[in-house]
């Protein structure tokens, strides 16, 4: 299920923005905030679909997001990520 009001549930909602919009090795620290975030997928889709250029979103840096956008420039990332998450959920259910 897709969460429309994802920002309210984000693991970073109480973080200082300066900690998420960093450069270099500091980006790895910022990405750690995303680990286990319940709305990581929604956050990443937001950044990709709106081509947000700065900061860590959904556990990815701007460089990592640009690489995805080059591979699939016309994709609806919400649809791509939602479909992938649904498939993963179905697979886990079948294995259980």
- Dihedral angle computed from the Cα positions of residues 42, 20, 55 and 75, in that order, rounded to the nearest 10 degrees: -10
Instruction: Provide the annotated binding site.
Output: 12, 34, 37, 43
- Residue whose pair of structure tokens reads 């939602």 in the numeric block: 82
Instruction: Provide the annotated binding site for [4Fe-4S] cluster.
Output: 12, 34, 37, 43
d(CA 30, CA 16): 11
């Amino acid at each position: 299920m897709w969460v429309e009001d994802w920002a309210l549930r984000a693991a970073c909602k109480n973080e200082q923005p300066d900690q998420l919009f960093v450069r270099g090795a500091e980006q790895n620290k910022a990405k750690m905030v995303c680990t286990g975030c319940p709305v990581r997928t929604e956050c990443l889709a937001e950044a990709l679909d709106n081509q947000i250029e700065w900061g860590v979103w959904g556990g990815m840096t701007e460089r990592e997001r640009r690489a995805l956008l080059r591979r699939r420039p016309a994709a609806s990332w919400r649809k791509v990520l939602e479909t992938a998450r649904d498939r993963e959920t179905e697979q886990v259910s079948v294995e259980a």
